[in-house]
Each structure stands twice: as structure tokens, then as C-alpha cells.
Amino acid sequence: MRPRTKALVAAGSGITVGLAGLALSALPAGADDEPVLPQVGAEELVASALAAEAPAFAGVAELKNELGLPAVPGAEALDFETVRVFHDGAESARVQVERQASELTFVKNAEEAWAYDSQERTAKGLTWDAADADAARGHAEAELADPSQAAAEIIERLRPTSDIFVDGTAKVADRPAYELVLTPKPSEKTLLREITVAIDAETRIPLRFDVFANGTSDPVLSLGFVELELGAQDADLFEFTPPDGAKVETTEADDAASELRDAGGEDAVEQRTTTVGDGWDTVVIGEAPAEAPSAGSFEGGPQGGQDLSGMLEQIGTPVSGEFGSGTHVQVAVGGAVITDDGRIAAGAVPRQVLVDALDQQ
């Protein structure tokens, strides 16, 4: 995913989507399950993980979410418990996100990508030709958020601002793995204590990703493989035909690029979304989602609902600075400031870091 695309996603959904993209994680294996593996240095392990290419596999992952996110726009990104992932060992992939009342299916192959919501019965497709294949595939990868690639991307992004070491071994989905630990350097202003990544000893792909906040002994976010089987997958998994009766919307990659240019192009995107800082204390600032709920859309308020501003008054605290005024919402791993003029500043950082970032804009 390109940096600007990542910034748009993070800003649009606040801190949630940024954390959702961290990678797959599972509960740590017990001490009795620790496999005996050859010693490996941290830098060697990082280099091999970043260079690894996913083999053909089928896997099941489970999410454990203790972030304490309120029911605000973006929080639905972590509204699931199980995800099934299939990869052909090349460029085709399938991800099925299972929710209580629906399933989201993402399918990508060499020529197209699809996203299908079973509850809304909507299917969105993106196609491309050889001329714009690279750009289109990058967009499709953003839609799929391939777990192993997302984990490798996080390692690469946090590497310059982290102290990194190997903390023994573990078993994840019955596969031996090395435990890589990233901790923020003392100069980083973050509410996170560390991030651990279980890296498969054989393939070197990430199998698990755990996020720990300061003052907690258990992960605040755990998403990881509980089943993983290497081997060739049925080619039909990577083809998609919209079900009968589904509302279908298809776009060609060059048309999507034209629409972006008509809207002001990447320069306009850059103006609407910015990042302040880097590494652990990155703050993403962008426009509040245009689809933010209106009055009566939140359950639990007066007469069955309440508007967004009323909800923010209940769950957040007022904040002000040179940027103006707004509301700060705190969660276990960071927070967001929703400004009165319709912006969101989000990051895994204390409130003052968010305010300082807004003041710089």
C-alpha cells in the first residue's frame, strides 16, 4: 500500500484501521511448547522476514480485541472474530472476514480484485490491463490487507525507531516460530510498550502479531493464525462471480485514476491527509469520514439513538490549542482528537502529542 493510501485509511477511520492493519497474532504459546531452533540474530531475522515471499497456503486466524473502542465511525473495522486466508504463492489471494451476521470476502488475482459484503449484498470489482497492472494491484493489496505482508510492512516502518531483539521461540498454529520483539526507542512518545511478531522458522512469514500497551501484561490486540496448512490451493478460490441479486459496481483502474485526477489528484489527497512524526509516535491527520452517522444512528442514546457530537461529549474530554477546539477520545493504545472543524488526528500517543501535531498544521 502506498504511504498516501495508508494515510487516507488511517485518517478516515481514526486509530482503528491503523491497528487493524498491524497483522496476524495469536495467544502466546506456553513455555512447555517452545520449540528448539537454531539461534538467529535480530537483524538477520528481520531481513529474512522482509525478504520472505508467502508460499501457497490456507489459514484460519482469530482476533482478540481489548482496545475498548467506542462505537464511532471506523470501529467496525475490528468487528470480527475469525478470518480465513488463502494464498496461491504468487499474486492471488482470498480473505474471508467472518462477522456475527455477515461475511466480507476479498478476492484478488492477476487481472481483477473483488470485495463482497454478504449482508449488504454488494460486490465491488476493480479490473486492469497490462498498462496499469502495477498500480491497480497495489490498490487491490490495500483492499485485501494481506496479513503477512502487513506485518512485514509494520516491521519495516518501525525498524528505524525501535530496539529489536529475539525473545526465544513459540509455536503458532502448530508451527515453530521465532519471537521478534520491537520496543520504542526512548525518544519515541507513544503509549505502546512493545509489539511482538512470531516469524515462521521455515518460511519466515509472520504468523502472529501482538500489541502491548504501557501498564498491561496481556495484549490489547491479538490477531493470529490458529490453523495454517502449506500447499497448493484450488484455483477456483481466486475467481469471483457476484451472486444472483447482488448490487454490482465495477471500475477499471484507468477510470479510477482519471477520477482521482479530476478530483485534484494526489496533490489534493496530500492536502487532505498529512502525517506528523514517524515511527511509533506518528500522528495521522485527515478529514472526518463523510459518512459519519447522523442523529439517532447510535444505539443507547435518548429514544434509541444520539448524534455524534452528543456521544463524543459522553466518551471524550474537551481539548483546545492553536488549532482550535475539539474532543479527545482515549483508548487503550492511544486516541484521537476530533476537531470542531471536521478533522481527525489519531495515533498511539498521548493527548498532548495529538494537540501538538494539530498545532503544526
pLDDT at position 72 is 52
pLDDT at 266 > cutoff 60: no
Residue with cell 486509530: 15
Say whether 97 sits in a helix, a strand or coil. Answer: strand
307 CB burial (10 A radius; 0-12, 13-18, 19+): middle
- Is residue 76 very low, low, confident or very high in pLDDT (cuts 50, 70, 90)? low
pLDDT at position 290 is 55
Question: What's the mean pLDDT when you consider all of the chain?
Answer: 77
- Is residue 235 very low, low, confident or very high in pLDDT (cuts 50, 70, 90)? very high
> How is the chain split among helix, strand and coil, in percent rounded to 5?
30, 35, 35
Mean pLDDT lowest for which of 57-66, 75-84, 170-179, 243-252? Answer: 75-84
- Is residue 82 very low, low, confident or very high in pLDDT (cuts 50, 70, 90)? confident
Grid cell of 110 as nine digits: 492477476
Q: 3-248 is classed in which CATH architecture?
A: Clam (2.50)
- Is residue 182 very low, low, confident or very high in pLDDT (cuts 50, 70, 90)? very high
Residues forming beta bridges with residue 328, ordered by sequence position? 317, 337
- Is residue 197 very low, low, confident or very high in pLDDT (cuts 50, 70, 90)? very high
- Domain extent listing, the chain: 3-248, 276-359
pLDDT at 270 > cutoff 80: no
- CA pair distance 310, 190, nearest whole angstrom: 29
Mean pLDDT on 135-139: 51
- CA pair distance 198, 167, nearest whole angstrom: 10
Please give the model's pTM, rounded to 2 decimal places.
0.76
Alpha-carbon torsion angle 33, 35, 39, 44, nearest 10: -80
- Is residue 135 very low, low, confident or very high in pLDDT (cuts 50, 70, 90)? low
- DSSP character at residue 91: S
pLDDT at position 132 is 58
pLDDT at position 98 is 84
Mean pLDDT lowest for which of 3-17, 248-262, 265-279? Answer: 3-17
Mean pLDDT on 317-334: 89
pLDDT at position 241 is 93
Mean pLDDT lowest for which of 145-159, 192-206, 322-336? Answer: 145-159
- Is residue 134 very low, low, confident or very high in pLDDT (cuts 50, 70, 90)? low
